[in-house]
Amino acid sequence: MGEDADGVGVAMPVDGATRLYAIIGCPIAQARSPAVFNRLFGRLGVPAVLVPVEIAPADLAIGLAGLTAIANLDGIIVTVPHKPRMAALADAVAPMGQRVGAVNALRRRPQGGWLADMFDGRGFVAGLAGRGHAVAGRSALLVGAGGAGSAIAFALAEAGIARLHIRDIAPERAVALARRVADACPHLRPTAGPQAEPADIAINATPLGMAAEDPLPLDVQALAPGTLVVDVIMKPARTRLLAQAEARGLPTHAGRHMLDAQVDAIAGFFGLLPPRS
């Protein structure tokens, strides 16, 4: 069986019938998905295992080709920094992935090749809602316009954010994302640039914080009292950004909530649960 006496998923035996899933990134040590999905496989009684695979950016295309050659590998989860480029390498991309220009999950198509989609943004908003943080009618400062940041920007727009300012180490990337969101969601006119007005929610959607020596992605001291500080980084669970925000008395929201809120959706995409609309 796939559950222990408390109903918690336990590991399935690995044998010749085991189906494989992979999460790819660089680095990969911070990934929480193997623990989360392997518990899910155990709970569902699915003979499968998700393994972490580190692939350097320069090797992504050849790495995907190698994974494609593994006949019992059914799905791939994608993490930093591969989400934007993977959208171009997949054989087909679902509408959300097309809009965002990045993907974080791939499944094999019956006719061959990979279908890709993006779940980060809606998982992010659902994770906020699950912790009692409303988005509609509020304002947000989003730092990071890469794959995760793009997904979050579109999802915030869909959820009714009233004002969105985007900042990125590459200013032109922030400007481009603001324009794309405005084109897709005419009710919202995001702004971009180094300066921003006070916001209700401040979001780090960059990799800054994975390493102890990383600079902070935003200045906590410049945030207004009551600003909700959000970090999408999974490991460490309590980043320096969140620690400094807590020291200032600001509310915080950790990265694990974004993953936890999208697990069932990705499992549905993989065909392991009824798909969510």
Catalytic residues: 83
Q: How far apart are CA 43 and CA 64, in angstroms?
A: 29
Q: Where are the beta strands (DSSP E) in the chain?
A: 19-25, 48-54, 73-78, 92-93, 105-108, 114-117, 139-143, 163-167, 191-192, 201-204, 228-231, 252-253
State how far the Cα of 125 lies from the Cα of 20, in Å rounded to an integer. Answer: 29
DSSP assignment string, 58-69: GGHHHHHHHHHT
- Cβ neighbours of residue 112 under 8 Å, at least 6 residues apart? 91
Does 27 sit behind a cis peptide bond, omega within 30 degrees of 0 on the bond before it? yes
What is the residue type of 14?
V
What does R_g of the chain's alpha carbons equal in angstroms?
Answer: 19
Backbone angles phi, psi at 122, to 5 degrees: -65, -35
Q: Residue 57 contacts by C-beta under 8 Å, 6 or more apart in sequence?
A: 26, 81, 82, 85
Query: Angle CA(236)–CA(125)–CA(49) in degrees, nearest 5?
Result: 55
